[in-house]
Structure 1
Amino acid sequence: MHDTMTSTALYTACFEQDSLAQHEAYTTLWHMLYRVAYAMLHAYPDGDAITTDCTQKALIKIHRNLGQCQNPATFREWCMQIVRRTVLDELRRPEHRRRASMPDAEHGPWAAPIETLQLDDLRGILTEVIDAGPLSARSRRVVVGRYFSEQNDDLLAQTESELAQKPVLASHIQVTRAKNLAALRRDPALIARLREFVEEG
């Protein structure tokens, strides 16, 4: 079972009790949900652990509420809304609000030497490079969410609106992303870091 399967087929497979198809469907869902959660959480301290926890919570919610998805053709979007709300609930917890307001010197640009990085695919490599670039936390969410987590501009705008507690339009996301990509292209340290990854590969 692959990420490219239709929403309807994925939805149907989730109901096939104790079957290989059901197991593969939930494996596909796990990876899909994890990418969405990771795009929102990876910049936080302990982001990997929080991402795993939120993905697990979202998967359980989806399993318990499958019957509430009224349109199987939009099942993927329904699942992404659930994981997004799960992450937002997590970020509203007081400890995360405090951490978000503190400078993150320990996890700043190029904090980890290249030889200590454990990245097993191109998505991980590029995300690591973007993390170290000259972008704000919001800008990183916009770039990673759009290009690595299958989130469209409307969904990204909803997320940023809820985090900022003020309206953020899809057009704002588009402008932000254009500026972000230009900033990444102009950053010599980021380009040098990416070249190191390519040459070591």
Structure 2
Amino acid sequence: MKLIKGEIIMFKDKLKELREKEGLSQYELADKIYVSRTTVSKWERGLGLPSDVNIAQLCKYFKIDEEELISYSELKNNFKEKNKRNKLFILTSAYLLLLIVAIFFSSADIYFYNCGPFDSFCLEPISIFGLLEKWFIIVLVIYISSGTVSLFLLFNFISFSYKKKTIIVIILFIVSLIIFAVTFMISLFISIDNNYRLFY
């Protein structure tokens, strides 16, 4: 491979060099390999690497070997980045699912009033949030805020390393799980004091 200052030319620089050598604009190159101009621009700015199919098309057009176009280390690093993104996506999805279940379960009427056969009245079923009264707003805000933060991390609205993002989501996951468990236990004690029972 061609060297610049002792280092292998990065793919983005190599692609730009080949394109300019052929006298092509980004739009013209994109048209020849059947991708959008934005995609070519992204590659040349180092914001991603092409798929195997696109690499094959580029090599075929420029009549070069794959090794001349892209280095093994770049492919390896790109694979690692994709792997990290996938893990973060799975973790965040699991966390958001937990929040949805927690909010749904906390909103459902799972406590029923112990009505005797001769009672003149019977209270309506009530939820965890209902038993917590005004405190449920704080719990709901925590759930929604933490879910929003996890989405911001996933879609790179907050610029942290994937390791730091993963740690934050795990912490949010654990905290939300603890909050759900605590609110459930508190509601259970309140229900007993107010003559309610869990489920019908």
Q: TM-score scaled to structure 1, two decimals?
A: 0.22
Q: Which has the larger radius of gyration?
A: 2
Hey, which of these two has a bigger chunk of strand by percent? 2
Q: Which structure dedicates a bigger proportion of its chain to helix? A: 1
Please report the TM-score for the alignment, with normalisation by the length of structure 2.
Answer: 0.22
